[in-house]
Amino acid sequence: MLNKGEYSFSTCWNIKRHTVGREMIEEIKTLGFRHVELNYNVTEELLKTIEPMIEKAEIGISSVHNVFPFIDDKDYDTDSVLLGYDDEVKRKRSVELLIRSMEYAVRYGAKAVVVHPGEVPFAYNIDSELKKRYRDHGKDSPEYQTLWNEMHERRARLSPLYTKRIQDSLEEVSNHALKQGWDVAIGIETRARCYQMPTLMEAKTICDHLKGSPVSLWYDIGHAMMMDRMGLYDNLNDLQEVKRYIYGVHIHETLELSDHYCPYVHSKDLHFFDHFLEVIDLAKVKVYELKAVCQPDEIHESHSLITQKIANLSNRSA
């Protein structure tokens, strides 16, 4: 299959179909990808057959996704307070786990670690309830707006506290990386739930505070599209403010508030995703993060459209 060049592909696409790591990577290679992002569900067992492939240069690792490898502990999973914990013991443990992810990234020759840094905690998953009201009643309905305002008030009030705590945690990790001489980016990822951090402006604040460190923005295109639809921030406007902070991108598209679809192909919209082509082109690490329903022919078609459109942009500006 056509070589996808510098583009990488996340194991989130097929990890649930495989119990042997080599077979999972081989399936991705049949799509034409020579680089993969090892996502947070990759276990030490799966790595037993992946590591020999890395050592023999059968596959390149673009990035690993914190917490890596997988640990079965909800306190430190991808939807937790993580680097922003009030509990100092938990926060320190989160710092240690990110350092461990970086160690694996260095060992595998990866360019970046993708991090979900934290959230403003709520007593329940208010995002899930908001998305239900969005679907059932619409964004402008009183049912949605009342709960949205409740969420937004708490989020705005507590964001500075959690932003500061996340900054402090990332500073600790960055100082450790500096001492070790590691050349690996820490990409803080735009998230898929409205109470999670960072927004694009929160990411800017963190990156500005940690100038000169490995910390940068990991722009997840689909997540940002969803947060824009829900009303958390103005994605296209804020993107212009933060694009210089971006190190890596997760490439996928959304259908309303559902994500990880093939850009252009599933939405049938051949124009809106064009807004993100410049960012994809500029990103040092470009990773497709697609769900299992995406079929090989759809993946190829989507990649072909993206690369052709970027080439056209380059030709126009040349």
CATH number, domain of 29, equals 3.20.20.150
**Is 78 part of any domain?**
yes
Residue 271, pLDDT score: 97
Residue 288, pLDDT score: 98
Given a contact cutoff of 8 angstroms between Cβ atoms, the answer to whether 14 and 296 are in contact is no
- What range defines the domain where residue 61 resides? 8-117+166-317
**Is 86 part of any domain?**
yes
**Is 45 part of any domain?**
yes
**Is 296 part of any domain?**
yes
Residue 2, pLDDT score: 79
Task: Say how many domains are in the chain.
Answer: 1
Residue 1, pLDDT score: 55
**Is 183 part of any domain?**
yes
Low-confidence ranges of the chain (pLDDT < 70): 1, 317-318
Residue 316, pLDDT score: 75
Residue 315, pLDDT score: 78
User: pLDDT for 186-207, tens place per residue?
Assistant: 999 999 999 999 999 999 999 9
**Is 144 part of any domain?**
no
**Is 270 part of any domain?**
yes
**Is 285 part of any domain?**
yes
Is 0.75 surpassed by the pTM of this model? yes
Length of the chain: 318
Given a contact cutoff of 8 angstroms between Cβ atoms, the answer to whether 291 and 261 are in contact is yes
Residue 280, pLDDT score: 98
